[in-house]
């Protein structure tokens, strides 16, 4: 199968490219720069010049593919995120248009922020709300709309993703702890964070392309809920700073824009994903991963 991958040089996308190649698929990697093209070629993918901002080029690239996996997103700043969310919707629609009249799968990375669980933990049966998620982004809503219109579209919902090359949630929390000279948690820190190693997450994308059912939600969750206090203590140990409890305004000061994340209790299950895709995570847990000194360099 020839699979188009967006974001193929990123933290998650590079792992997706590697896993696709490992099981014998060909990869077309969308590259917006020569540097990205060189990295994709080195990983065994065929670079295709283009970007999410160019729907025509994306449509043409998708026309050459048997499937598509979308992992690219610009989350550099709140202002750019709003614009990026609009760009992302147009990009997904361009791929879906290229796949029109076929059963070629389109799989994209989503998250849990817009999901409102019915039970004690989020499951694949819990849908995203109809409203936009953080700063206008709701990939799941877009994909489910495309699936309803006939596209073989599904979403892989990602929790806290960690591993070598991580530059997302954990590095941000580490940077905050370093800046304040202490690692914080809210209240008793019992609120839970689901997590997955990036290589395990990549294997869910591959499974969704190979075995996925249109309109499905797959939860790439290896650990259903790690207490935030445990994460804070691991960060404190890694930085050799104290770990402290915060409340109210102190929590807002400690976490800033990350306060909703640091205070939310959002356990999530992947039982249905494991059953349907035959997926079994094997990578290290988030606390074990935080024992690597690489997380605390710089």
- Residue 77 in contact with residue 83, Cβ under 8 Å? no
Longest dimension (CA), the chain: 58
Residue numbers in the chain where pLDDT is lower than 70: 74-79, 131-136
Tens digit of each residue's pLDDT (9 = 90 or more) over 265-287? 999 999 999 999 999 999 999 99
SS3 47: strand
Position 79 scores a pLDDT of 59
Q: Do residues 141 and 127 touch, judged by C-beta distance below 8 A?
A: no
How many angstroms separate the first and last alpha carbons of the chain?
A: 40
What pLDDT does residue 115 have?
A: 86
> What's the sign of the alpha-carbon dihedral 281, 193, 168, 6?
positive
pLDDT in tens, 1-43: 999 999 999 999 999 999 999 999 999 999 999 999 999 999 9
Query: Is 0.85 surpassed by the pTM of this model?
Result: yes
| Strand ranges for 7-147 from DSSP E | 26-31, 46-49, 67-70, 105-111
What is residue 130's predicted lDDT score, i.e. its pLDDT? 72
Instruction: List all residues 6 or more positions away from 287 whose beta carbon is below 8 Å from its beta carbon.
Output: 226, 230, 231, 234
Query: Which residue in 148, 110, 139, 114 sits closest to 273, CA to CA?
Result: 110
Where does the chain show beta strands of DSSP type E?
2-6, 26-31, 46-49, 67-70, 105-111, 152-158, 160-162, 183-186, 192-197, 217-219, 223-227, 243-246
């Amino acid at each position: 199968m020839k699979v188009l991958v967006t974001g193929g040089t990123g933290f998650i996308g590079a792992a997706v490219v590697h896993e696709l190649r490992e099981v014998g698929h060909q990869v077309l990697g969308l590259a917006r720069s020569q540097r990205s093209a060189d990295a994709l070629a080195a990983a065994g993918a065929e670079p295709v010049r283009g970007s999410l901002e160019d729907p025509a080029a994306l449509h043409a690239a998708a026309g050459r593919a048997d499937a598509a996996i979308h992992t690219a997103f610009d989350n550099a700043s709140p202002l750019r995120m709003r614009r990026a969310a609009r760009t992302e919707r147009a990009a997904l629609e361009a791929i879906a248009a290229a796949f029109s009249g076929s059963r070629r799968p389109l799989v994209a990375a989503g998250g849990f922020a817009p999901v409102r669980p019915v039970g004690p933990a989020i499951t694949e049966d819990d849908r995203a709300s109809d409203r936009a998620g953080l700063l206008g982004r709701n990939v799941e809503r877009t994909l489910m709309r495309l699936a309803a219109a006939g596209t073989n579209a599904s979403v892989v919902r990602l929790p806290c993703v960690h591993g070598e090359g991580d530059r997302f949630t954990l590095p941000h929390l580490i940077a905050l702890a370093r800046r304040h000279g202490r690692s914080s948690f809210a209240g008793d820190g019992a609120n839970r964070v689901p997590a997955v190693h990036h290589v395990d997450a990549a294997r869910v994308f591959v499974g969704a392309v190979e075995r996925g059912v249109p309109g499905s939600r797959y939860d790439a969750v290896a650990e259903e809920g790690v207490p935030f206090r445990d994460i804070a203590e691991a960060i404190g140990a890694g930085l050799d700073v104290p770990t402290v409890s915060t409340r109210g305004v102190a929590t807002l000061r400690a976490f800033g824009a990350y306060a909703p994340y640091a205070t939310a209790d959002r356990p999530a299950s992947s039982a249905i994903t494991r059953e349907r895709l035959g997926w079994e995570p094997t990578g290290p847990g988030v606390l074990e991963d935080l024992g690597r000194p690489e997380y605390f360099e710089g």
